[in-house]
Amino acid sequence: MAVRQQVPVHPQASFFGAGPYPARRALVALAAVVAGFVLTAIWSAPFVDSVIGDSVANGLLGYDAKATPISGVLAGTLFAFVSGLAGSFTACNIAAFGAVAPLVGDQAGEKRSALKPLGWIAAGMLTVSVAYGVIVALVGTRMPQFDTSKTTGLSPRSVQSMIAFGVVGLVFLLMGLVALGILRNPFEGFTRRHPAAPLVLMGALIGGFLIGRPYPLFRIMFRSAAEEHNVLYGAAAFALQSVGNIVVMAVLFLILTRATGGRVQRWLAAKPARIATVTGAALLVGGTFTLLYWDVRVLGRLGIIWFPMINW
């Protein structure tokens, strides 16, 4: 029986992982894109945003998060973290879970600190979210995310969401294709010298979710920071919102790498091509969903194009 050959690569040639690429990389990519498309078609925003998100926020805060005004800076910072945690599974944050596979793959084959890669992701994420929080505090409610007027069917807030998440989705897709070896890493030399750079980029993308996020609880925190015109409050609130967004992702990563006794890492290291396969597939699913949901499905909802959607 013929033995399928794996395609060797130089360490750090892909965005994540140093092992060989899978032999059937095109098939892996196709399956991941189809999975992202199916997830987009069946996604229920009312269920995720209200049933899950609102219930979590109300339970943690002890009051109706949507109906109760934010009473001050301290209450606002707590609200920021809780609403970020409550929004972990919303459509504007689901791509963050695409970082779990690269993080686990980074741990395969070697004993490394699990906190260090999380730190690099946090560094990229907080740089973007803090900077955006400062901008919001300075500009106030003149930000496009407050403008819901419609002249061509799309409000400025919708356009900003489409641009922000469209860019994030495209970068996720490109990273996934590079991770599978379908595209060449254009920054191969840089990532070889700075292996943490892809994790910082991943964090920056997660921080970028706030630039286009329309999640109702986020908008409440957003307006509070904009109306206060307090730069420190804006920076802290947006930082805590982002931290809340990745708590579940970080816990899942720690479970897979530590609570399993290293079984996941050993499974990945047994056939190094698995690292590229799992990493690339996760990034492509997240990228496909983000791009289709926030750009193509929005146009479908407005009746501009047709896009299959299951309403529930």
The answer to whether residue 205 is domain-embedded is yes
Residue 7's pLDDT band, with cuts at 50, 70 and 90, is: very low
The answer to whether residue 255 is domain-embedded is yes
What is the distance between the alpha carbons of residues 184 and 176, in angstroms, rounded to a whole number?
11
Q: HSE on the CB side for 261, CA within 13 Å?
A: 0
- Helix axis angle for 73-86 and 231-254, nearest 10°, is 30
For residue range 83-98, list pLDDT tens digits in order: 999 988 888 888 888 8
Of the candidates 276, 19, 251, 12, the one whose C-alpha atom is nearest the C-alpha of residue 118 is: 251
For residue range 151-194, list pLDDT tens digits in order: 667 888 888 999 999 999 999 999 999 999 898 888 888 888 88
The answer to whether residue 17 is domain-embedded is no
pTM over 0.85? The answer is yes
Beta bridge partners of 7: 21
3-state helix/strand/coil string of the chain: CCCCCCECCCCCCCCCCCCCECCCHHHHHHHHHHHHHHHHHHCCHHHHHHHHHHHHHHHHHCCCCCCCCCCCHHHHHHHHHHHHHHHHHCCCCHHHHHHHHHHHHHHCCCCCCCHHHHHHHHHHHHHHHHHHHHHHHHHHHHCHHHCCCCCCCCCHHHHHHHHHHHHHHHHHHHHHHHHCCCCCCCCHHHHHHCCCHHHHHHHHHHHHHHHHCCCHHHHHHHHHHHHHCCHHHHHHHHHHHHHHHHHHHHHHHHHHHHHCCCHHHHHHHHCCHHHHHHHHHHHHHHHHHHHHHHHHHHHHHCCCCCCCCCCC
pLDDT at 81 over 90: yes
What is the number of domains present in the chain? 1
What is the distance between the alpha carbons of residues 107 and 209, in angstroms, rounded to a whole number?
26
Domain enclosing residue 79, as ranges: 22-300
Largest separation between any pair of C-alpha atoms in the chain: 70
For residue range 122-156, list pLDDT tens digits in order: 999 999 999 999 999 999 988 888 888 876 678 88
The answer to whether residue 123 is domain-embedded is yes
The answer to whether residue 264 is domain-embedded is yes
Q: Can you give the pLDDT at residue 236?
A: 96
Q: What is the mean pLDDT of residues 255-283?
A: 84
| Structural contact between residues 270 and 20, judged by C-beta atoms closer than 8 angstroms | no
| Structural contact between residues 15 and 103, judged by C-beta atoms closer than 8 angstroms | no
**Cα Rg, the chain, nearest whole Å:** 20
Of the candidates 107, 121, 97, 96, the one whose C-alpha atom is nearest the C-alpha of residue 18 is: 107
The answer to whether residue 309 is domain-embedded is no
The answer to whether residue 268 is domain-embedded is yes
The answer to whether residue 78 is domain-embedded is yes
Residue 11's pLDDT band, with cuts at 50, 70 and 90, is: very low
